[in-house]
Structures are given as C-alpha cells and as structure tokens.
Structure 1
C-alpha cells in the first residue's frame, strides 16, 4: 500500500529524485559481486572527515539518486563514500543486502574513523550497522568495528510497524522474503528490536527528520529514540522527506551542520 500524500510532497519527490546523477571521481570495488562497488568523492585534503552514505529507496532502488547529494556533501569539505549493495527485487534482500552492508563497512574505511549516514531505508541500514555489536556472537554480521557516529535521515527504524503500515507496497516483506519471515528475523535486522534490551548501541546517534515528512509515519523516528537512551532526535520545521537530500536546500544545510558537529570529534 502506498501512503496518500499531498501535491506538495509529490512535487518534492519528483524534483529531488529527478536530479541528474553526478559522476564520482573515484569508483572502486569492496567485493567480488557486481553490486559490491562504491563511489567516492575525496575531500579537499587528506584529513577531511569521512562520511559513508547509505541510500534509500525501500531497499529496492540503486544509489544514483543520491549522487548529487554526495557531491554536495563533498563540496562542504568531507570525504564521501556511497556504496552500492544488492537490493531486494533483484540480487539482494535478506540476507544479501545485510551481507553487503557489513562487508562494505568492514572493508572500505580501512580502519579510518567515519560517520555513517543514511536516508530512509538507508537510515535503517545505518542504524542496524551501528547495532551489530548487539547481535548474537554467532550471528553472521556480529561485529565490533562500528562507526564513530551515525546520522539517520528520516530513517525507517521499526520494521514491524513498517510492515503493519504496508509501506511502499509491502517493501519490508519483499526485503525479508515474505510476511512469514518478519517475526523470526526481527531480532537480527530490526534496529528497535535490537535496542530493547541493551538501550543503547554505544554509538553517538542523531535521528534527523522533517516536520512535514509525509513519506513515513513520525512514529518511525520517535519509536527509535524512545528505546535508544543516547540518541538525539532533531526535527526540522517546515521540512519534508526528500528536501533533506536536496543539494542547497535549507534542510541539506542543516544536514551539513549536523555532520560537521559529528565529524569534529573524529578529526585526526
């Protein structure tokens, strides 16, 4: 089921997702599968803080719609990495999407501190990656090489609620391989579920969303910060879902400010 949205939201979505892709100056692989690649925009100097950016699109769409925003962040002085990964509806979904995110984050930074950012379903993957130390030790993605901080932009945080709302034509069921797999997999892939006992990932986390976001129920944002005692919720007045990633918008400037605040502590 698709949510009913206003004409203003529909126009915002068309405008932002219709931006011309930007070719990255660096293109590399982090694995052997054709989708295990990444684009990089190096910062102006070798000490530029690194941001790894995970794209949205309900786990289905590719990263190209986020290349203008990645280039915009790089122009603000950051080194920006935009990984591709296997996606649902094609080569990915569970478990391949999660395999690729874990591999990318264990490989690309090469021991360098970084801020992990993600928009919408990319925000879900960023919050999940920050919680990998909370997974059972025998889980395939358990790990302790975590980001230095996370900035989740209008993220999906609660997969059970997302499934109940049937967001984007049952995108969660497609990701996980069917409605019957939701409950058994929540303890492995759902940020809210992972946090319920621990109460914190130990990673400084900011959830930033627009007051006028019509794409996701706002409970997706508040549910997460209600269980993560160390997470900060930032609400931008008069802001929608997609303007967060629209280069040069007021919302995107707020994102740059938040990244500046988070990266300040990890500068070499």
Structure 2
C-alpha cells in the first residue's frame, strides 16, 4: 500500500538501519505519539518500516504523531541478540531529543507493533522490568501509556514451535542467541511473558484466521497477565488474517484505532517507569 513521505527522518545511531520516520499532524501540539515497530520474522529480508507507513499516515490524519522505527535485524551486522533489542530501546528513547523541536507530548505515548514488531512493542513497554544486569536493559526507559501487539510472539520460549514453522526458519533461537536451556537469561530478559506483570496496559489484536500465533496461545497469555495484575485484553477481528490486522484499509483498522485512542486517553505518564527491576 502506498504512503506519503515522512515529515522528518532522524537517526538514533550510526548504523544505516538506526533511524526512524516522524509523521506530524497539523496544529501546534504538543501531539500524542504512537511508536510503530514493523515485523518480518525478525529478518532483514522480509520487511522494513515502510510496511507500517500507511498506518502512520492514517494516524496523522487523526491528529496523532507517529515515530516509525527501523532497527537491525537478523541477516545484518549487529542484528539479533542483543542488538535488535538495544536498537528498539534506543529508537524509543530518542524521542526525548525530538520532543521539543517537533511538539511531541511524551506523557502520551503508545507502542504498536505487528508480528515480530508486536513482540518488540510489548517488550519495550516492559523495559523497566528487564534485569539491570542484562545486555538489553535500558538506563531510563521511556514509559508508554500502553502497548498493542498485533499478532506477535509474547513468550519467546513458549512460542518457538509456532513461529519457527510460519517463518520457515529458527528465528527465535537465532534472535536469542541459542536455545532456551543454553541462554535462559536471554529468554527471561526478552520475553514479555517472563516479565509479567508488565505494569503497562496492553492489548493483543488477533485476526480470526491468524496463522502465526494461534488464538489459544494469546488467550492463555492474557489470562496470565491478568492474574499477575496487568490490564490486558484480547481483541479478535472477524474475517482477518495475520497481515490484514496491520492495514488501515481493512475491518481491523477501526479496532486498532479505537484501542490506540483508548490507551492515549488514560491519565498521562511522566515519561518514566515506576516499575522496579528484578
């Protein structure tokens, strides 16, 4: 689907893949912000930030700024563990430097990711829960009002079989730098399911015909998150599959837009996490 050019491009690092596209709505602001994280089985060959640019355009028309991020992926130098996670964290925290110039309201941020990017969006929302000794821990992670996972893996250990089958490659073990029994600390630090409670409201949006991540897995995760004290919900979009839920031209769009607006209407955050590390 075609998209308009971004209003600005900003680099958060020196690697060619360490940048993001900013789209700004009309008006003086300060504007709420949605961080967009594309998927693609964590692999450079499958997707880029262009895949979510149409959502950025649609949100801009709704008066919401977007920061659509690129990051190093499998198949690129530095992609995988820990570089992919470090990039996502750095890209999000880069918003602090953009906020004044571009009239961004850092108290009203929501993270949205599709497929592999859904995993990264949930993980980014929980960064304050990552053990401080981990290579992917952040120093002052920017805290969102909420996060939305569009059919992405939420537990890197539990989701291995399904995700490897659909991606036709052992991408989770490649991302983690090994099997769970060999690098258990990596899985604990990177899996939202292992970081519960995330202490950030989050939404899982699944298509009725989702193939990558079967619905029962999502239902079990939401039950676990709620039992841990989180505000977590699962929305099912009738007739949609894995890719339709990430398009503003399908019946999934009103569902996604409504959830973004609901999360943005929550009491504003101070941009810092009050969660304690493990």
Query: Fold conserved (TM > 0.5)?
Result: yes
**Would the aligned equivalents of 1:48 and 1:267 in 2 still touch at CA under 8 Å?**
no
- SS of the equivalent of 2:148 reads strand
Determine if the alignment matches structure 1 residue 133 to structure 2 residue 128. Answer: yes
Determine the structure 2 residue equivalent to 1:52: 35
What are the within-5 Å matches in structure 2 for residues 163-202 of structure 1? 163-165=160-162, 166-167=164-165, 168=167, 169-179=169-179, 181=182, 183-195=184-196, 200-202=197-199
Q: CA RMSD in A?
A: 2.1
What are the within-5 Å matches in structure 2 for residues 94-133 of structure 1? 94-110=81-97, 112-113=106-107, 114-133=109-128
Whole-angstrom distance in 2 between the partners of 1:227 and 1:44: 41
Determine the structure 2 residue equivalent to 1:5: none
Structure 2: 5+ residue stretches without partners: 100-105, 270-278
Whole-angstrom distance in 1 between the partners of 2:50 and 2:161: 29
**Would the aligned equivalents of 1:89 and 1:174 in 2 still touch at CA under 8 Å?**
no
- SS of the equivalent of 2:117 reads helix
2:63 to 52, 77, 83: 77
Pair 1:73–1:266, CA change in 2 (3 A)? farther
**Would the aligned equivalents of 2:3 and 2:57 in 1 still touch at CA under 8 Å?**
no
The structure with the greater share of residues assigned to helix is 1
Whole-angstrom distance in 2 between the partners of 1:222 and 1:39: 33
Once superposed, which parts of structure 1, at least 4 consecutive aligned residues long, lie more than 4 Å away? Answer: none
TM-superposed deviation, 1:184: 4.1
TM-superposed deviation, 1:224: 2.3
Q: Deviations over 1:74-120 (max 9, x none)?
A: 22221011011111121211110011111112222457121111111
Q: Deviations over 1:175-223 (max 9, x none)?
A: 123436553421111111122xxxx221111111112212322244223
TM normalised by structure 2 equals 0.81
Whole-angstrom distance in 1 between the partners of 2:215 and 2:5: 33
Whole-angstrom distance in 1 between the partners of 2:209 and 2:25: 32
- SS of the equivalent of 2:110 reads strand
Aligned residues between the structures: 246
Structure 1: 5+ residue stretches without partners: 1-18
Whole-angstrom distance in 1 between the partners of 2:26 and 2:266: 19
Pair 1:266–1:48, CA change in 2 (3 A)? farther
Determine the structure 1 residue equivalent to 2:255: 254
TM-superposed deviation, 1:66: 1.6
- SS of the equivalent of 2:157 reads helix
TM normalised by structure 1 equals 0.84
